[in-house]
Structure 1
Amino acid sequence: MEASLKVLNNYVKVDDQNPLELAEKITRIGHEVEGHHELAVGTKLVVGYVQECIDHPNSDHLHICQVEIAPGEVTQIVCGAPNVKAGQKVIVALPGCQLNGGKISAGKIRGEESNGMICSIAELIADQRLLSDEDKAGIHVLDEDAPVGEEALSYLGLDDFILEIGLTPNRSDCMAMTSLAYEVAAVLDRKVTLPEVTKYEEKKSDITVDVETDLCTFFGAKLVKGVVTKESPAWLKNALLSSGIKPINNIVDISNFVMVETGQPIHMYDYDKLTNKGFVVKTGFTGKYKMLDGEDYELLAEDVIVSTDGGVGCIAGIMGSDSTKIDENTKNIVIEAATFDGPQLRQSARRLNLLTDASQHFIKGAINTKNSLHVLDRCADLLKQYAEAEDIYETVATQYNEEEKHVEVSVERVNGLLGTSFTEEEIKNVFDRLCFTYTLNEGNFDVVVPSYRNDITMDADLIEEVARLYGYDNLPSTLPEMSMTQGLLTDKQSKEKLMRHMLAHLGLHEILTYTLTSPSKENDFNLFHNADDQVKLMWPLGEERSVTRKSLIPHLLEVIKYNNDHAIKDVHIFEIANTYSAQEKEISELAIAMSGNYVDVPWLGEKTPVDFYVVKGILETLFKALNIEPSRYTLEKVEADNKDYHPGRSAYIKVGKTIVGLVGQIHPAKAKKYEVNDTYVVTLNLTAILSMRSSKIKFTSLPQYPSVDRDIALVVDKDVPASEIERTIFRASKILKSTTIFDVYEGEHVEEGKKSVAISMMFQDEERTLDEKAINEAMDKVLSAVEKAFHAKLRQ
């Protein structure tokens, strides 16, 4: 927010403070001053009087002016403004003046001497959005009684210093200058002076108000008749300019100033444009309606509406309707002050793209509802003073009974939490400076929380007030007492770190992609989540990032496509991240995607394209590093009609009957959708896999006795997995140490529907040298086992 020191000075004296030192003090109590600037910039600016103005002989638009810049001192200035003429009081920038546009110096313009510049307001104020077209079009003409030679910014009231304060979410009350004044007064130990509001004799009002929704806790309206729309006085316009608000006219400006002062947004209706003089706060309106800015907006049933004459009088807290707007002919107005639900208003404002200054006060919870009736009286008083209002009517409002909020805190509790030794008097001093009322009983404070302080709900909040007013920097620094703990990675963290290092050593690159994805890709390659179980953002930035992903594979394929489009064909990547659904909550996954050549060394003539066996080998290496033995998992072909993975080159990874992953090639149709070439992937459910009890590493001495190798060729059905054959052979003999499949053959001399699997086996006994008898017994056990399991026969 922008806080004007001149406006602030109306409530607490700060004009004797160094602005930068004051900014530092405000920052130290928790309201960070992120920047500062002057409302108007200009040195050596004086009030001048144009004694003579003639056309420039060498220009069709310039004028030569004789300007009195001090009593009896006249200088010549060449001016190009179309509205300059003799007899005007103007703002003069003398040679050496520093403006926003640069430094002013004396010189000649088209051959004529010019000693300075006659200024417009636009040349003094940097933010052009706050200025009227008149301010930008020509020089600014001052009142006839402006004293010649006086410093111009001071005379105009533009010599203001603005603090740019970054309010924390819990202190939105300080969006009101009166609330900020209490903070500054507490820092400086000064009193706050609130403006006196004159209470006029009020007439009986004929307007009615009604609230039909829980999204409005208070609604008040006050009728004021006989107002005159005109230009606002200088002080009011300057107060708005320094608060970052563009002045419009006295009616609009008064409502905006009251919002700046009290934090309560004000909306005004043209009373004469209302037929039944009633206001109903409700929801349920749908369709397009024209608002104050002349644009049509689509309303939804959940939007809160202030209804007038059965239609839309105002989108609550956001913008008024075109049908009830104030214009230059308005004579009688109804002032509204209300409290609307911030979250619902935020949704409406964001959808309609109408995040106005008023809506921000509701959204951030800056409303002091208890003060709303006073706000209406304040607004009526200003209309009486500056809009010539004739008749003031009684306020009509809904019932609002706010109980007085009490919070208790003890001296012992304050010192115990802060590690200090404050006395009762020191704590009393803090509460007094903050203008808190309280009762004290044997070291226990019963504090009545001011209605504008919505952030104070418990004793810790009061203790924070003591700490920040005392000064955080002044609190003693002590080390906390705690037991010593050893910093270690969790089992999951250490295993994920191991996997990352292992995959990097195998030549893969780790990537990081978005958690959010498009609904069109949400269920692609989804293996572990329910397809109908969606987690959708309430207010996504766009359709492409509107739901959480259920698989990492789609994003890996997008990375492969991006690299392929940039002439990088060999892409080997992996990612460890979470996937989400409402039912399964979140699942930690590992995904690997490989495309192109795994090995490509042209000068050696070595080239190994990525295929099923490359990714399967990486998977087995990974499992081995995690001490997951091959006997713990099985591979099972995916369904023939699988839409995501190639049915002939992909397999589920199962532990028991549970699918914990998949290894294989993406389906050609999906490769076409994602515009990638043949790509092989691995996806693992790490939540399930890392929770498995893995085998412990066992160290054994080197074998002392020789091993014996035997080769066999088994004829089995074509669909028998070779891994199952190996698993069965291992279980058949204790002295069998390793197996290697070195050939798989189908064709001539092998029965149709069968295949020949050639296996090399290594036998070894740790206690003796194997003889022929022991080896033959082991071989018989192996052949008997495979025959029983698969009807396998030795190939002749």
Structure 2
Amino acid sequence: MKLSYEWLNEFLDLSEITPHELGEKMSRTGIEVDSVEIPGEGMKKIVVGKAFAVEPHPDSDHLNIVQVEVGEEEPIQIVCGAPNIAAGQKIIVAMHGSRIAGGHKIKRGKLRGVPSNGMICSLQELGISESLVPKEYEDGIYVFEDEAVEVGSSAIEALGLDSAIVELDITANRADALSMRGSVHEIAAIYGLEHNLGADVFEAGESNTIPEFVTVNVENNEDAPAYHAQIIKNVTVKPSPQWMQNRLMAAGIRPINNIVDITNYVLIEFGQPLHAFDYDKLNSKEILVRRATEGETITTLDEVERTLTDEIVITDGQKPIALAGVMGGFDTEISKETTTVLLESAVFNPVAIRTAAATHNLRSESSSRFEKGINLSTILQAGKRAAELMVELADGELVPAVASVQTLTNEEPVVSIRLSRLNHVLGTKLSVEEVTRIFAQLGFDCDFNDDLFTVTIPLRRWDISIEADLVEEVGRIYGYDRLPQTMPTTESTQGGLTPKQRFVRWTRQFMQGAGLSQAYSYALTTPEKSHWFTMENHESIRLDLPMSEDRSELRQSLLPSLLEAVQYNVNRKQSDVRLFEVGKIFSIQNDEYVEQEVIGAAITGNVLNKTWQTAAESVDFFMMKGILEAYFAQMACLDQIRFEALTDMEQLHPGQSALIYLNDEVIGFVGQVHPLVQKDLDLKQTFVFELALEPLLAINSKQREVHTVAKFPGMSRDIALLVPTSVSNDELVTIIKANGGKYLQSVTLFDVYQGDKVEDGFKSLAYSLQFLNREATLQEEDVTKAMSKITEELQSVEKLVIR
């Protein structure tokens, strides 16, 4: 809603209040102000001129030489290329040295050898949107039709561009401010000002007939609780006076002609949508409001034929002539030949209007107001105001009767609140007199008796119906900034993170330190992908009403979602992607919904890029395994972790995948994505892992032992083994640790060899074993004894040879 400050001043004395102060005050009292601007600010030396001579340019087929009176002693000469320039027109003239919209400066010059001392302007060149320019002036200069506009006067003032425009962002609950009258009530209440608005007058109407002219009928009173029709005859359709055009353009509405402009003017003034029909184009003397039948059609004012289903329509007894509350029909539009007008003022079912507007993608000033609600006490009053203006500005003759069908009654709601309750909620100590004054500023009648306010709410404030609404009204008019500040009286507890939150935070920090970026992915995926990367065959959880099959089931693993994110980045030329996520997975187990938190990661591309001194290094299985080992080492549980080959998960490479055990419990897996899946996703080698959070949280919560630096020296022994390639490193390390005795501290694989001098099907592994006695000097025989037992047990492995 755009408020013209000049128009507001017609109802209120705002001489002591600047537009920006008003905008700030309204924002602080509940109606947000988007902007306050003066359209003509910065423009100067732009006057109303009159073209008294127009001659073709001798060296151009589209330019004209125009002699223009501008209120000075001598006329000036301007070369103009507008197609609609003609002698006798009152026009907008930008003088030498003037500034137009955008800060552009106009100077004297020559156009094809002919001097030009200014510019004749269109409205667009003064910053007015093309959508607001009257259609006849869209492609040319603007012409003042109003005789009251004087030559030599400021064109900025003549167009009302010197008046500020306050643009409101109206929420659905304050649709009462979608009119000048509603906004005036609001501003008067905020500042405690007197206004000169006439009272709202509820009129029910009498008969449904205007003798000899029209009869009105409504098929369903719930669709149209009130419908009034008036007849204005002998009208002359012509441009509106300049003041009306200015106010309409300031409100964001394009001027059309005096009849249509009057309906739009009253729409802005009262917030009451109206529609004018050309009476002579009706096929009968009956107006019937009904629901459309399936397949019925209407051509609306935008010249689009629309097929109807069940919308409310206005008919002439035979066919639809308007889509009720949304847009009129093309066949009965007002034109220059119109002499008799049928003027409609009504209220329609808001749900039906919103449905019709959405169905036909037609959002109009009328539909937006019907959807949010209108002032039910001024329906006919607004119609009569428009009829009076048509008599005044279109030289019409009003037929006295009104044809009406109305079931509405003038029942103003009554809401009560106790003063003690009001003060308790606001935290104030307002007196009876202060609250009574606030209600008076709002225009609410109230009685006070025994701590109880009984407030009668005018129909123009249909947003107020309960006690809380009165609290809000008193609070905002009193001033939210004046409400006392109090500390909460509830008990408080010391803040902090839970052990789980601390562990998750630490996990995220570790993964980021390892070079991975945190991702937040969709929990919903496709029915197929919801079973990817699962170690057990659980039933997935499906949405009852999914928006699409791509997001129809909850994931049972983080990896499908992470691979989507990797694919998204790779498709956008980000070849090196390293992502992790801590999130939830979902499944049905034993007929119960189960949520589990897991840690997942997906990496593709290079871990090291090529430089002048290093070669590029791509991610591989051992790089992923190394990240996990470092992660477990930080939790001091690496000695409880083991990896076992995994060959039966369809989405993982059977030769580069492993289950991860924490003691004897499987807590996750690591491996390369299966080549067929990589091909399907158009990815290069991609590696993933997924870990269950709860077991890791449990092991991380255990108290850790901290040892001082050993005082005694340790010993190391190396052992080299020739083993079949089917024997894993993890099997051998397990045997070594199990038989290494209490002094064995660590086992490190430092060499792997296959090739020359090593039989096919075999590999050479070399391990370094570290021994340490923390309480005394380690004896040679203790180490020798441990190595003998290790050697003995290793020899039990089939085809193993100790080198």
TM-score normalised per structure 2: 0.75
RMSD: 5.6
Corresponding residue for residue 180 of structure 2: 177
Change (3 A) 1:276 1:59: closer
Corresponding residue for residue 408 of structure 1: 417
Change (3 A) 1:390 1:461: closer
The alpha carbon displacement at 1:472 in A equals: 4.1
Alignment-mate amino acid for residue 508 of structure 2: R
Corresponding residue for residue 222 of structure 1: 228
Which one of 348, 362, 367 corresponds to residue 338 of structure 1? 348
Alignment-mate amino acid for residue 505 of structure 2: K
Corresponding residue for residue 615 of structure 1: 624
- The answer to whether residue 303 in structure 2 is matched with residue 294 in structure 1 is yes
Equivalent position SS for 2:430: coil
State how far apart, in whole Å, the 2-side matches of 1:755 and 1:275 are.
103
State how far apart, in whole Å, the 1-side matches of 2:164 and 2:22 are.
11
Q: Which moved more, 1:733-742 or 1:713-722?
A: 713-722
The alpha carbon displacement at 1:649 in A equals: 2.6
State how far apart, in whole Å, the 2-side matches of 1:230 and 1:547 are.
63
Change (3 A) 1:318 1:48: closer
The 5-angstrom pairing of residues 378-457 of structure 1 reads: 388=396, 390=399, 392-397=401-406, 404-410=413-419, 412-453=420-461, 456=464
Q: Which moved more, 1:438-447 or 1:524-533?
A: 524-533
- The answer to whether the Cα contact below 8 Å between 2:275 and 2:343 also exists between their aligned partners in 1 is no
Corresponding residue for residue 4 of structure 1: 4
Corresponding residue for residue 143 of structure 2: 140
Alignment-mate amino acid for residue 446 of structure 2: Y
Q: List alignment gaps of at least 5 residues for structure 2.
A: none
The alpha carbon displacement at 1:9 in A equals: 3.5
State how far apart, in whole Å, the 2-side matches of 1:653 and 1:659 are.
6
The 5-angstrom pairing of residues 72-111 of structure 1 reads: 73-78=73-78, 80=80, 87-100=88-101, 102-104=104-106
The alpha carbon displacement at 1:31 in A equals: 3.5
Alignment-mate amino acid for residue 76 of structure 2: Q
- The answer to whether the Cα contact below 8 Å between 1:736 and 1:763 also exists between their aligned partners in 2 is yes
State how far apart, in whole Å, the 1-side matches of 2:552 and 2:710 are.
60
Equivalent position SS for 1:469: helix
State how far apart, in whole Å, the 2-side matches of 1:650 and 1:452 are.
72
Equivalent position SS for 1:558: helix
Change (3 A) 1:129 1:632: same
Change (3 A) 1:277 1:354: closer
Equivalent position SS for 1:669: helix
Alignment-mate amino acid for residue 227 of structure 2: A
Change (3 A) 1:504 1:440: same
Equivalent position SS for 1:293: coil
- The answer to whether the Cα contact below 8 Å between 1:119 and 1:140 also exists between their aligned partners in 2 is no
The 5-angstrom pairing of residues 382-781 of structure 1 reads: 388=396, 390=399, 392-397=401-406, 404-410=413-419, 412-453=420-461, 456=464, 459=467, 461-475=469-483, 486-506=494-514, 508-512=515-519, 515=522, 523=530, 525=532, 533-534=542-543, 551-558=560-567, 561-562=570-571, 565=573, 570-576=576-582, 590-598=599-607, 609-626=618-635, 631=640, 637=646, 639=648, 642=650, 644-651=651-658, 661-684=668-691, 686=693, 690=697, 694-701=701-708, 735=742, 740=747, 742=749
The alpha carbon displacement at 1:217 in A equals: 7.3
Which one of 246, 254, 262 corresponds to residue 246 of structure 1? 254
The alpha carbon displacement at 1:244 in A equals: 0.5
State how far apart, in whole Å, the 1-side matches of 2:616 and 2:628 are.
21
The alpha carbon displacement at 1:292 in A equals: 3.9
Corresponding residue for residue 256 of structure 1: 264
Which one of 276, 289, 300 corresponds to residue 279 of structure 1? 289
Change (3 A) 1:737 1:351: farther
- The answer to whether the Cα contact below 8 Å between 2:417 and 2:452 also exists between their aligned partners in 1 is yes
Alignment-mate amino acid for residue 677 of structure 1: K
TM-score normalised per structure 1: 0.76
- The answer to whether the Cα contact below 8 Å between 1:84 and 1:139 also exists between their aligned partners in 2 is no
The 5-angstrom pairing of residues 55-204 of structure 1 reads: 61-65=63-67, 67=69, 69=71, 73-78=73-78, 80=80, 87-100=88-101, 102-104=104-106, 119-124=121-126, 126-136=128-138, 137-144=140-147, 147-154=150-157, 159-167=162-170, 170-195=173-198, 203-204=208-209
Instruction: Give the number of equivalent residue pairs.
Output: 771
Alignment-mate amino acid for residue 9 of structure 1: N
Residue by residue over 1:86-121, the C-alpha shift from the partner in whole angstroms, topping out at 9 and shown as x without a partner, is 555555555554432744556676777666555554
Alignment-mate amino acid for residue 650 of structure 1: S
- The answer to whether the Cα contact below 8 Å between 1:285 and 1:305 also exists between their aligned partners in 2 is no
- The answer to whether the Cα contact below 8 Å between 1:268 and 1:335 also exists between their aligned partners in 2 is no
The alpha carbon displacement at 1:129 in A equals: 1.7
The alpha carbon displacement at 1:10 in A equals: 4.3
Residue by residue over 1:154-193, the C-alpha shift from the partner in whole angstroms, topping out at 9 and shown as x without a partner, is 5566653211233456534322222211121123322344
State how far apart, in whole Å, the 2-side matches of 1:595 and 1:465 are.
60
Equivalent position SS for 2:193: coil
- The answer to whether the Cα contact below 8 Å between 1:561 and 1:674 also exists between their aligned partners in 2 is no
Corresponding residue for residue 245 of structure 2: 237
Change (3 A) 1:297 1:188: same
The alpha carbon displacement at 1:245 in A equals: 0.9
Equivalent position SS for 2:255: coil
State how far apart, in whole Å, the 1-side matches of 2:552 and 2:335 are.
43
The alpha carbon displacement at 1:401 in A equals: 9.1
State how far apart, in whole Å, the 2-side matches of 1:327 and 1:50 are.
29
The alpha carbon displacement at 1:611 in A equals: 2.0
- The answer to whether the Cα contact below 8 Å between 1:105 and 1:115 also exists between their aligned partners in 2 is yes
Q: Which moved more, 1:83-92 or 1:5-14?
A: 83-92
State how far apart, in whole Å, the 2-side matches of 1:731 and 1:402 are.
91
Equivalent position SS for 1:36: strand
The alpha carbon displacement at 1:256 in A equals: 2.9
Alignment-mate amino acid for residue 75 of structure 1: P
- The answer to whether the Cα contact below 8 Å between 1:94 and 1:117 also exists between their aligned partners in 2 is yes
State how far apart, in whole Å, the 2-side matches of 1:208 and 1:607 are.
84
The alpha carbon displacement at 1:246 in A equals: 0.8
State how far apart, in whole Å, the 2-side matches of 1:606 and 1:132 are.
70
Equivalent position SS for 1:341: helix
Residue by residue over 1:597-643, the C-alpha shift from the partner in whole angstroms, topping out at 9 and shown as x without a partner, is 44578777777542222212212322443466665887672635x2x
- The answer to whether the Cα contact below 8 Å between 1:90 and 1:142 also exists between their aligned partners in 2 is no
Equivalent position SS for 1:552: helix
Alignment-mate amino acid for residue 690 of structure 2: T
Equivalent position SS for 1:646: strand
- The answer to whether the Cα contact below 8 Å between 1:318 and 1:354 also exists between their aligned partners in 2 is yes
- The answer to whether the Cα contact below 8 Å between 1:572 and 1:594 also exists between their aligned partners in 2 is yes
Residue by residue over 1:639-688, the C-alpha shift from the partner in whole angstroms, topping out at 9 and shown as x without a partner, is 35x2x333443345578999864421122233223332111112345588
State how far apart, in whole Å, the 2-side matches of 1:728 and 1:571 are.
38
Alignment-mate amino acid for residue 8 of structure 2: L
State how far apart, in whole Å, the 1-side matches of 2:698 and 2:359 are.
44
The alpha carbon displacement at 1:241 in A equals: 0.9
Change (3 A) 1:653 1:185: farther
